[in-house]
Each structure stands twice: as C-alpha cells, then as structure tokens.
A = this chain, B = another copy of it.
Amino acid sequence: MRATMIHGPGDIRLETVPDPQLTDDTDAVVRVVAACVCGSDLWPYRDTSTGANGPQQIGHEFVGVVEQVGSAVEAVAVGDFVIAPFLFSDNTCALCAKGIQSSCVNGGGYTGCQCELVRVPFADGTLVTVPGTVDEAMIPHLLTLSDVFPTGHHAAVSARVGEGSTVVVVGDGAVGLSGVLAAKRLGAATVVAMSRHAARQDIARSFGADHVVEERGREGANAVKEILGGIGADSVLECVGTKEAMKQAFQSVRPGGTVGYVGIPHGVELNMPVMFATNSNLAGGVAPVRSYLPDLLPDVLDGSILPGRVFDAEMALADVAEAYRAMDERRATKVMLRP
C-alpha cells in the first residue's frame, strides 16, 4: 500500500510499504476513506528532537471501512464505516471503565494512518461504527470525531463548561475552533475567541463565538474582562500548548475558574502562589476520544453541529507533502487527505 513516511524535519514522502495484516484475533484492518494532518504531526515535521527518528509512518486521525476482522471481533463487521479514535483502547480495563480510554492499560497509537490501510488493535474497544449510509458530505464532519472535535470538547469538559458559562478560547487552530463549537454545544452563555486571523475568526463565529479578541497578553486579558463583567471567564480553553498560551489562559480566567488544556505543553510554567490565592484550576490532557463518541456522534449525524468546517483544504494522499507544507506555513488550518 501507499503510506506517508516522515524521514526527518520537513521530509514527508509517500512510499510503498507492505499491507498491514491481522496480528491478533481482536484486530481489524480498516481501509482509509479520509485522514488528516494534526497540529501535533507538525512537531516532528519541524524538529527532530520531538519524535521522528529515521523513516517511519505517521498520522493518527482517520475514518474508513472495515476490510478484515480477527476471529474475536464482535462489535464491528467487514463493510462497516467506522470512526477511529486517535488512540486504540480495549474499553474494558479499569481505566477505560472510568472513561479515561486515553490511558487504557492496553492502549496505544497506530503505526500510521496517512495511508491506505490501518491495523487497529482491540477493534471492538476502539472503533465506532457509523449507522446507515454515509454521504460524501458527511465525511469531513465524521473525520473530526477521530481527534480534533473531541479534543476541543475535552478542553471544554475539562474547563467545566456548562449551562450559562462564560468561556475564553486561547488558540485559533482547528482544536481551538472545535473548542468554541464544543463550548456552545455544552450551553456556554458567552464564548470569546482569541484570534487575529480573519478566516479563522469567521469559522469561530460560525461555531457560535459571541466575541473575538485580537489583543494578546495583558491587553488581551483586559479586553476579555471588559466583555465578561470585569472578572474574567469561568472557563478558559487552552488549545495551543506554549508558555505564552498558558499564561494567556491564566490571565483570562476568573478566581475560582478552570483552565482546560489540550495543547501538548512545551515549556509551560505555572505560577502556583497565584493559582492558590485565586483558586485557578487546571484540568485536561490527552483527550479520551472513545469515551466521548457516543455523546458526540448523534449530534454530527443529525446535523446539529458541523465540526468539519475546520477543514479548509482537501488533497489527494499523493499530495501529502504539500498538505504538511500548507499547514506548516499556515496557508491551511487543517487539511483532509483522500487516498
């Protein structure tokens, strides 16, 4: 099959590799219908120190059709259209039972998915079948359920967004935009998106953002406070992972509020005395996507939410190197790849 390989920083190639095979009787092999490039794929693309050592497959977000199943697989069948959460999980261990499938004791990541076929371990505990016939127009929305939308949702849930919450979203990438949509879906009264990028501001507004703040730092936090009654937000979604973004988040949260973070932290520093004095809380991490899908999928299928709007480019798998370049250079927010 054809598969995307990363050879080092900036070096993405589509190559031919052996087709994956069923290894365990709980495996499935899934033919990829659509995959995409994640912001986290850009870390090894930009810097060898963060991952890629020598040529290896890459990618972790996809939807597809089940092509083979092991003898012990019961919940999915050949021909099913499935959503693959970006980590596999047995969905039976003590941590899965607590809803934290991203820490499944038997879990892990795929070999890669920006390719044609993927071996999925623990197919029953991982894949979620989409009922009925899947229209072409539904594919981008379903694809977001493998990572980006549930990750934005996780930021909102971690930040304790609920009915009537005031919310600030730091980060206008695909995850941040998904966070805006998730926060409104959870009942937020007011959502402030922090963005300087006109096209992304438009997506944020289409996802329900009530206000956009372009300022950053203390000036941005002051603008937020002015909008939110002088005291900052009940919930802040930190969807970047940099030191500056986390600082922005804590500057924007009100005393007693919570920062929900889903950006992989890089050099983040926390001010514990201030956190303690103000009861500013921190929650989040790697999204337990599998846990959220039963709640999120119906809203996608009935069109209540359109999370696929985060895709502003679609390319053939053959153009995967250009997909990385477009995201690296910020010419695209998020690229969908079609094998």
Contact = CB atoms under 8 A, between A and B. Distances in A.
Given A268-B272, A286-B279, A255 B94 contact: no
Interface stretch (A65-73, A123-131, A170-178, A227-235): A227-235
B256 A288 contact: yes
Q: State the main secondary structure of chain A at its contact with B.
A: mixed
A158 B272 CA distance: 16
A267 to B, nearest CB: 9
Contacts of A195: none
B285 A98 contact: no
A282 interface: yes
Given A265-B272, A270-B270, A279 B231 contact: no
Contact of A103 (B94, B255, B285): B255
Contacts of A283: 258, 279, 281-283
A229 B94 CA distance: 8
A107 B282 CA distance: 24
Contact of A284 (B103, B229, B261, B279): B279
A33 interface: no
Nearest to A268: B272
Interface string A91-115: 0001100111011000000000000
Interface size class of A (residues with CB under 8 A): 35 or more
Given A231-B94, A256-B95, A273-B265, A102 B279 contact: yes
Given A231-B94, A256-B98, A276 B285 contact: yes
Interface in A251-289: 254-256, 258, 261, 264-265, 268, 270, 272-273, 275-286, 288
A254 B99 CA distance: 12
A244 B306 CA distance: 47
A278 B103 contact: yes
A276 B256 contact: no
A102 B103 CA distance: 35
A255 B100 contact: yes
Contact of A256 (B100, B230, B254, B275): B100
A223 to B, nearest CB: 17
Given A272-B265, A279-B284, A285-B280, A255 B95 contact: yes
Interface of A: 94-95, 98-100, 102-103, 158, 229-231, 234, 254-256, 258, 261, 264-265, 268, 270, 272-273, 275-286, 288
29 contacts: A94-B229, A94-B231, A95-B231, A95-B254, A95-B255, A98-B231, A98-B255, A98-B256, A99-B256, A100-B254, A100-B255, A103-B256, A103-B277, A103-B278, A103-B279, A158-B281, A258-B283, A265-B276, A270-B272, A275-B282, A276-B285, A277-B286, A278-B285, A279-B283, A279-B284, A280-B285, A281-B282, A281-B283, A282-B282
